[in-house]
Amino acid sequence: MPRKIIPFTKPECPGIFCEACTSVLEEAAKDGVKTYVQRMENRAIEPCLFGQGGTCCRNCSMGPCMMIDNVPESIGICGATPATVAARNFVRMVAAGAAAHMDHGRETAFTFLAAAKGESPYEIKDEKKLHFIADLYKVKTEGRSKEDIAVELGQKVLAEFGQQEGALVMTSRAPAKRQALWKKLGVIPRGVDREVVEIMHRTHMGTDQDYKNLIFQGTRCALADGWGASMIATELQDVLFGTPVPLRTVVNLGCLSEDHVNIVVHGHEPQVPEAMAIVAQEPEIVAAAKKVGAQGINLAGVCCSGAEALMRRGIPIAGGFVQQEVVLATGAVEAMVVDVQCIMQGLSDVAQSYHTELITTSPRAKIPGATHLEFDHHHALENARELTLRAIGRFKERKKTHIPDRKMDVVAGFSHETINHMLGGTFRASYRPLNDNIINGRIRGVGAVVGCDSCRVESGKVHTTVVKELIANSVLVLVTGCAATACGREGLLRPEAAELAGPGLREVCETVGMPPVLHMGSCVDNSRILIAAAEIVKEGGLGDDISQIPGAGCAPEWMSEKAISIGQYCVTSGFYVVFGRTFPTTGSKEVTDYLFKDIEQEYGGKWAVEEDATKMAQMMIQAIDKKREALGIQQKKERVLFDMAMRREL
């Protein structure tokens, strides 16, 4: 168990592993544009080990108190130990990460309710899912209009945010055994917001000082994210904007257009991208674009806004988190429209180096130097038109551009429903074939590779190395968020990538015509992975709980607090989860031992950290094999190391 504090061996910027991006960054640097590259190179102070290992407390003004494990003189003025502080900081990360998804879920519920009441231009697209979710929430569906059902459902969902007692409805979708375990341990979330508030209270100076009790509440809050707010966001967005089905599109900077007005949507919630996609087609808007000499509007995405628009509308993704400034440094973007989360403040300066207008749209996220145009879903299309016209107005100011001729085909849109149909057939959707292929060993197991990309690593390469290693060993890979975009850039989201898969997985992919790496959406869509796991259990033959499935998860380049919340709900749902490079409790051996070892006895899942991508994949494969052995389905198989020749093949 790595108790070690991981040193930053690469103080210089490791950069992004993508030629297209590097060439743009180099050009931009020559023009004096400052991006994360310069900010990293010129930083006066490198990250300190107290902060990195979670043992710096600034929860009261007698501190900050920096602590070293096993050095009695270095505990807090109040007596707080490294374990208490590391656990407090850890669960505060859970609270912040979960809160981001919760506020997203709340906004979705408000939008859903307004649409149901006819107060917004959005319409209910997936009636089948509406009925399914309504049944879960005990909303009567017989003989009622879809709007009528949706109003009652929207109200019930919204009420869960302020609910004080009971259990969140979506947790009832977990396998019965998992629910019973959660109940026994007392971690079933009682309401959405309550769990975050309680973390903030417990971590206030002089409150909860028992690291296990703190992590207990962290778990309850994380579950309110995964099996609560994130699942609410995913499902209501599907009902409103359509459940994704497989579609082809492209990713990378080459999706920007020389002769169109380029508008980039960035952030997380799908409301703005949806409205922008609708108005981009309107004849008056196209005419306005033509009037300034453009061919029309080219919409592209960044981060999870991009993933949402890609999954449902096939809108291309220009880049992931690390690429956001690079996208603007092409000089080809008229407007970048952002809402919430993962938006670098540095964008403001980069935009000002070009003709680009950076526009914030959420009252919850303003940026100095950006234009603020509040987006109100009640007036979604009018607002989207205004945003688009502003972008059109900038087109003539465009100067030198540098759009690399690099884009990659991807197939995305793998909701859990799609996987069900794809593998089970149109007439009898079922996870049976997937389970059978896992049991007969063609598919060794399922690996979820999710989360951010980070400026601290060779961004993109870490993800794709893990993924290539997994598929070469016949592990079917599910991806979301920026990890999915990185895989897209490397061609791993194409059915042709099956060539890189081990023989069993390759056979399955070729029969079905699917890629070995399935893009399941944005970060709130990690809830799709939870549902898929619950369905695999329900189908039978692979144990009766998620912790028994031959599966594992990882976030190789994680950086955000959301990733910690996601990791914690995955671990306590029964998954083995490996994070890359650094882990925020390593300053306390006690807390890290608990999260990396002892927690498994309670929840059947545990955390790990590993910097090396190949090792990370091998750790996941080992965990998968262990589960196969426990189920009695393990055949003798050698672990394949993904060699250079295979790497060159793509």
Question: Interface with ligand BF8 includes 502 (CB under 6 A)?
Answer: no
For ligand BF8, the binding residues in 337-366 under the rule CB under 6 A are: 342
Binding partner of 303, given ligand SF4, ligand BF8, none, CB within 5-8 angstroms per partner class: ligand BF8
Question: Interface with ligand SF4 includes 63 (CB under 6 A)?
Answer: yes
Question: Interface with ligand BF8 includes 398 (CB under 6 A)?
Answer: no
Distances (CA, A) of 458 to 14, 16, 39, 453, 580: 5, 5, 16, 9, 12
Choose which of 560, 565, 568, 592 interacts with ligand BF8 (CB under 6 A).
560
Choose which of 451, 516, 567, 584 interacts with ligand BF8 (CB under 6 A).
451
Nearest CB to ligand BF8, comparing residues 90 and 321: 321
Closest alpha carbon to 221 in 197, 239, 243, 185? 197
Question: Interface with ligand BF8 includes 521 (CB under 6 A)?
Answer: no
Binding partner of 48, given ligand SF4, ligand BF8, none, CB within 5-8 angstroms per partner class: none
Question: Interface with ligand BF8 includes 556 (CB under 6 A)?
Answer: no
Distance CA 104, CA 317 (A): 21
Question: Interface with ligand BF8 includes 482 (CB under 6 A)?
Answer: yes
Binding partner of 57, given ligand SF4, ligand BF8, none, CB within 5-8 angstroms per partner class: ligand SF4
Question: Interface with ligand SF4 includes 78 (CB under 6 A)?
Answer: yes
Question: Interface with ligand SF4 includes 83 (CB under 6 A)?
Answer: no
How many CB atoms sit inside 10 A of residue 45's CB? 5
Kindly tell me the burial class for residue 41, based on how many C-beta atoms sit within 10 Å of its own C-beta (0-12, 13-18, 19 or more).
exposed
Question: Interface with ligand SF4 includes 429 (CB under 6 A)?
Answer: no
Binding partner of 587, given ligand SF4, ligand BF8, none, CB within 5-8 angstroms per partner class: none
DSSP 16: B
Q: With contact defined as beta carbons under 8 Å apart, do 137 and 231 qualify?
A: no
DSSP 13: -
Mask for 153-192, x = binds ligand SF4 (CB under 6 A): ----------------------------------------
Distance CA 261, CA 396 (A): 10
Residue 512, SS3? helix
Distance CA 349, CA 441 (A): 52
Distances (CA, A) of 578 to 44, 82, 463, 589: 31, 23, 12, 17
Choose which of 5, 6, 40, 60 interacts with ligand SF4 (CB under 6 A).
60
CB of 363 to ligand BF8, least distance (A): 20
Binding partner of 527, given ligand SF4, ligand BF8, none, CB within 5-8 angstroms per partner class: none
Nearest CB to ligand BF8, comparing residues 486 and 505: 486
Distance CA 539, CA 439 (A): 12
Question: Interface with ligand BF8 includes 486 (CB under 6 A)?
Answer: no
HSE toward the beta carbon, residue 217, CA cutoff 13 A: 26
Distance CA 641, CA 502 (A): 11
Furthest C-alpha separation in the chain: 72
- Which residues lie near ligand BF8 (CB under 6 A)? 268, 303-304, 320-321, 342, 451-452, 481-482, 522-523, 560, 562
- Which residues lie near ligand SF4 (CB under 6 A)? 57-60, 62-65, 76-78, 80, 205
